[in-house]
């Protein structure tokens, strides 16, 4: 039986490395039929849209896609094709293996790491605003559902692959609420997988440990932004982005892609290295349960590289087509017919239980624009009292003002000591500020849960 897979050749070197992939799949008799779909520059030129609906339909219909790199035009308001595909199809897990590749220049040996990055949330919602002409803000959203799902995906994958340890990477010492939630969810899920070791590390220490002793880690699971950075760092441990594969996994759909870009400097010159796309294809075949074919492609590729047959980027002299010929010449036939014995890891995002927690509005942080010194905001409005002001997170009122640069953007915390408040009380604060000619630019409501504050304190509070 043949499986249909959507193939997006992409831009720049994309078509050259995709052609190498097609030749190698044909030589290995991989039971995959490609359905070509377009995305990237060609799609923008034809349809004014980097990812046409037909392409998304093809991916959804087939459930599996492999993608070459696409060029994101600078300016012109075009969204990145990759981000559009990930978000539209809710591909919540980005899976990046970092394994030592024979012949790829690297300072390290015997690396076999698997990085699992949450792919949707965090600062990648791209929810950004200028609050004042001088102060910009990006909203970091971490959800319980997203964090539980990525943690479960990591542990299920560990179990499936026989890996021993999953390490959560975070900055919960500073972002106690957002990364704190990520870590809390990780620990909750870890408790269900007693056969797999679970621990955590702060992201800065993680980076230092990775470059000094990478073999100490087995699997990493990270929120989106740290995952983006650390997965590239891990690619650097094993020879760089030119040999880094990746998979974007959703509930019913997965898209595999090389991590590198469209390399316009060498496009059309028969110089591109197809290794990263081929390794992504190996990851794809494993996802599809076609392990024997995955081994055939991977073994031939590794043997070719180990023999010193390489493209120019890895210090060799072979063209894309010569390198592809060499891989095909090193290919052994599939030893026995494939039987698909297992299913890819599938995780359903949990629906949070109705906990009936005592969620109570107790005040608001009102951000105001005020040039020079502390803003003369009213100390009391109705039942709400001004209890704290901070400048870029550092407390400047009450008490002595620290010796910091004061930016024209202040957080004024109004809370009630007499019990719950309403949003009408908060609106009264905004009106009172306007009456005094003080411009407010942002409001965050302050809630408690079972009397515990669900908001952070200021530095120095």
**Residues forming the site for ligand NAI (CB under 6 A):** 13, 69-72, 82, 241-242, 257, 260-266, 272-273, 276, 313
- Comparing C-alpha atoms, which of 10, 11, 110, 12 is closest to residue 65? 10
- Comparing C-alpha atoms, which of 275, 261, 259 is closest to residue 94? 259
Tell me the HSE value of 421 on the side-chain side, using a 13 A CA sphere. Answer: 25
- Comparing C-alpha atoms, which of 22, 25, 7 is closest to residue 70? 7
| Catalytic residue selected from 19, 112, 200, 228 | 228
Nearer to ligand NAI, 70 or 143 (CB): 70
C-beta nearest to ligand NAI: residue = 261
Q: Compute the distance between CA of residue 36 and CA of residue 23 in angstroms, rounded to an integer.
A: 15
Nearer to ligand NAI, 40 or 375 (CB): 40
Nearer to ligand NAI, 43 or 429 (CB): 43
Burial class (CB in 10 A: 0-12, 13-18, 19+), 87: middle
Structure token digits, residue 217: 């880690």
Structure token digits, residue 183: 């870590």
Phi/psi at 93 (5° precision): -120, 125
| Catalytic residue selected from 204, 252, 307, 358 | 204
- Comparing C-alpha atoms, which of 294, 316, 295 is closest to residue 305? 316
End-to-end CA distance of the chain: 66
Nearer to ligand NAI, 264 or 393 (CB): 264
Q: Compute the distance between CA of residue 419 and CA of residue 440 in angstroms, rounded to an integer.
A: 25
Nearer to ligand NAI, 74 or 405 (CB): 74
Helix (H, G, I), strand (E, B) or coil at 277: helix
Nearer to ligand NAI, 320 or 390 (CB): 320
- Nearest approach, Cβ of residue 296 and ligand NAI (Å): 22
- Nearest approach, Cβ of residue 147 and ligand NAI (Å): 25
| Catalytic residue selected from 11, 171, 365, 414 | 171
Q: Compute the distance between CA of residue 83 and CA of residue 92 in angstroms, rounded to an integer.
A: 11
- Nearest approach, Cβ of residue 69 and ligand NAI (Å): 4
- Nearest approach, Cβ of residue 275 and ligand NAI (Å): 7
Q: Would residue 171 show up in a list of annotated catalytic residues for this protein? A: yes
| Catalytic residue selected from 9, 11, 92, 124 | 124
- Nearest approach, Cβ of residue 266 and ligand NAI (Å): 5
Burial class (CB in 10 A: 0-12, 13-18, 19+), 383: middle
Instruction: Answer for the pair 102, 312: CB distance below 8 angstroms, yes or no.
Output: no
Q: Would residue 342 show up in a list of annotated catalytic residues for this protein? A: no
- Nearest approach, Cβ of residue 314 and ligand NAI (Å): 8
Nearer to ligand NAI, 147 or 248 (CB): 248
SS3 content of the chain, % helix, strand, coil (to 5): 35, 25, 40
Residue 138: alpha-carbon gap to chain centroid: 16
Sign of CA dihedral 34, 40, 43, 49: positive
- Comparing C-alpha atoms, which of 448, 400, 442, 403 is closest to residue 130? 442
Distances (CA, A) of 133 to 130, 369, 370, 433, 441: 6, 9, 12, 19, 11
* Angle subtended by helix axes 14-27 and 291-306, to nearest 10: 110
- Nearest approach, Cβ of residue 67 and ligand NAI (Å): 7
Q: Compute the distance between CA of residue 24 and CA of residue 275 in angstroms, rounded to an integer.
A: 12
Nearer to ligand NAI, 137 or 319 (CB): 319
- Nearest approach, Cβ of residue 273 and ligand NAI (Å): 4
Catalytically active residues are: 124, 171, 204, 228
């Amino acid at each position: 039986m043949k499986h249909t897979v959507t193939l997006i050749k992409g831009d720049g070197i994309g078509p050259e490395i995709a052609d190498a992939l097609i030749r190698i799949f044909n030589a290995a008799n991989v039971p995959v039929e490609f359905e070509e779909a377009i995305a990237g520059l060609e799609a923008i030129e034809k349809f004014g849209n980097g990812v046409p609906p037909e392409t998304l339909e093809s991916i959804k219909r087939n459930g599996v896609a492999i993608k070459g790199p696409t060029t994101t035009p600078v300016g012109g308001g075009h969204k990145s094709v990759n981000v559009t595909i990930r978000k539209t199809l809710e591909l919540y897990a980005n899976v990046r293996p970092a394994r030592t590749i024979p012949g790829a220049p690297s300072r390290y040996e015997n690396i076999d790491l698997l990085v699992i990055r949450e792919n949707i949330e965090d600062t990648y919602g791209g929810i950004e605003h200028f609050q004042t002409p001088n102060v910009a803000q990006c909203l970091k959203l971490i959800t319980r559902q997203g964090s539980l799902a990525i943690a479960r995906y990591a542990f299920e994958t560990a179990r499936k692959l026989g890996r021993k340890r999953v390490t959560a990477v975070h900055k919960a010492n500073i972002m106690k609420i957002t990364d704190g939630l990520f870590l809390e969810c990780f620990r909750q899920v870890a408790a269900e997988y007693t056969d797999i070791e679970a621990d955590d590390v702060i992201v800065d220490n993680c980076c230092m440990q990775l470059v000094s002793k990478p073999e100490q880690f087995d699997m990493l699971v990270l929120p989106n932004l740290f995952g983006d950075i650390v997965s590239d760092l891990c690619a650097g441990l094993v020879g760089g982005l030119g040999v880094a594969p990746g998979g974007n996994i959703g509930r019913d759909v997965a898209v595999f892609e090389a991590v590198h870009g469209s390399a316009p400097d060498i496009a059309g010159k028969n110089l591109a290295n197809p290794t990263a796309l081929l390794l992504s294809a190996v990851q794809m075949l494993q996802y599809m349960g076609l392990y024997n074919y995955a081994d055939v492609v991977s073994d031939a590729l590794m043997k070719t590289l180990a023999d010193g047959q390489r493209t120019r980027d890895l210090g060799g002299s072979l063209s894309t087509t010569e390198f592809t010929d060499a891989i095909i010449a090193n290919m052994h036939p599939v030893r026995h017919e494939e039987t698909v014995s297992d299913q890819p890891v599938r995780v359903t995002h949990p629906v949070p239980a109705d906990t009936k927690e005592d969620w109570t509005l107790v005040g608001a942080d009102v951000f105001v624009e005020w040039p020079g010194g502390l803003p003369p905001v009213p100390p009391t409005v109705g039942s709400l009292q001004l209890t704290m002001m901070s400048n870029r997170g550092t407390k400047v009122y009450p008490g002595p003002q620290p010796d910091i640069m004061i930016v024209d953007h202040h957080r004024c915390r109004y809370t009630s000591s007499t019990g719950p408040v309403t949003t009408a009380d908060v609106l009264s604060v905004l009106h009172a500020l306007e009456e005094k000619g003080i411009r407010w630019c942002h409001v965050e409501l302050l809630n408690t849960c079972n009397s515990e504050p669900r908001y952070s304190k200021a530095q120095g509070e």
